[in-house]
Structure 1
Amino acid sequence: MPDSPTANAPKPAAAPTPVISAKPVVLPAPGRGEDLQVRVSAPATGTDLPVVVFSHGFGWSMDGYAPLADHWAAHGFVVVQPTHLDSRTLGIPADDPRTPRIWRIRIEDLTRVLDGLDILEAAVPGLAGRVDHDRIAVAGHSWGAQTASTLLGARILGADCVPGEDMSDPRVKAGVLFALTGLGDDLTPFAREHLPFMRPSFDTMTPPSLIVAGDSDRSHLSTRGPDWFTDPYTYSPGSKSLLTLFGAEHSLGGIPGYEVAETTDESPARVALIQQLTTAFLHSALCPEDTGWKTAAAALDDDPGPLGTLQSK
């Protein structure tokens, strides 16, 4: 059952701004098999707007994750959501010759978005000239978090345990990674055989990032428990924060969408906390003089009935 409102439910730091959105915006993608479809959402007013490029989880599309995308756009961000080839909306069969490379094509999708920001900006009425191309973050959930993490410097280990190609992008200044899978040493036999790309190294994932994990998130791909999802924080260098949500499973209370069937732990209060903390983190990570993240972190620490715990390094 959904949580009932409580006195401890987080409240937004500022009133939301009306949002404008355009979809599908199409970016040419030679060699991909079909062009890349993207949704762009942005506040109707404001200038020098920072950018968040969001990578969806397996099977989703640019239409998912409204609780995140709508909130971020209403609080000052241009949110860009590409539809990856694994999306159910595209219906690509499992035996498609591109399937073994979809993990890599996903990464190329995010890079293509960064390359095409001018096109995307021009496609949304009234957005041209209002985007700050020097303040860019990536975010993602589950497989999307792994996709986004590579632009932050995570690398895939080969069978010889040697890190593969560096696919980081210097244009990306920060990240928010939801339910990002942990080290590949703990994969199930099925995952080891069929998902060889799930062997990350976080040793070079250096940009500031917020890792969001649920303490009840148990993956059928790992032999470990929920602590597997804390590996990206534990094993990455630099400025990192870990938000661990009490009672949260893989959907973290419902971030993929409102009343989504696959959400097994529906919690509007938990989603509201995620909205508040990620928004504060992104603003402060992309604008160092912004103190909203420190304020939000302190408020969680002082909450007598917190929905999670936060640690930073």
Structure 2
Amino acid sequence: MTNQTNSNTPYPDYALAQYSAYQTLVSSNLYELPINIKKLIRSYGIHIQTYADFAKDCHISMDNVVFMCASEDGCTMKRSDGSYLLLYNDLIKSKGRIRYTLAHELGHYILKHHSKNNKIKISRGNFLKNLDKLEYNKLEQEANYFAKRFLVPLPIVDKIVTKLNFIDVPTLINIFGITQQPANYIINELSKRKNRIYSYKESYQLSLKFQNFIAKHYNNKTCLSCQYNYEITSNFCPICGQNFFIIPDFKNTTLSNLLRTTNSMNYPTLNLDAEGRIKD
């Protein structure tokens, strides 16, 4: 697979977006889920600032920041010294939505959208007058695809599905720190794909990178007294000494919902057969 793309074509290069997302994770110093996206962004020398802090520093209103960024979510600016500033709206209540915005903006940077198109500012979710509409749509779709594959890498989903023999929307939300919409997207994609075969070598490297975390995460139990996670073979919590614990059972959707939220919702679930294939 090549990591080059023709910037003159109006069509999004989804293969490049996926390759770049996976390689960004492979080359990172991150080994746990959900992905610590702010840590990774800062490792590239990108300065991250909230809308509120930017407004305070510049002595302007939040409305002016939104107007300047042309987005209620976030934007990335290439400054005159060649450095990058990523702004995001910290007043948005959904942490999953903020994480997606950060991943989206990181996608613009990794895919070199600013350099290829010589644009100073690219915003999420709004068409900018200084961009051709086709060009803007291409950049946005590539950044969106990067964000999806970066936050929820399918090779890692496959590892978790193999471990649990099951996957559903609440589990994806909990493990990857995303919102319901991208979680539904992953479930639908897995339903259509119905296989777990990957040919790209970076996918194999990505699976190896997170295998220790996955093995440890799903062989622990949680103390209900102090919330400490400890080995499933231990009879007592090493922190508080209690033996009142719970072993995560992600097949019990009702239980996992109660542990995460007081809202009761119905979600699609995927189950596997004895050979690891998604059942019809």
Calculate the TM-score normalised by the size of structure 2.
0.28
- More relative contact order in 1 or in 2 (CA 8 Å, sep 6+)? 2
Q: Which has the higher helix share?
A: 2
Larger Rg: 2
Calculate the TM-score normalised by the size of structure 1.
0.26
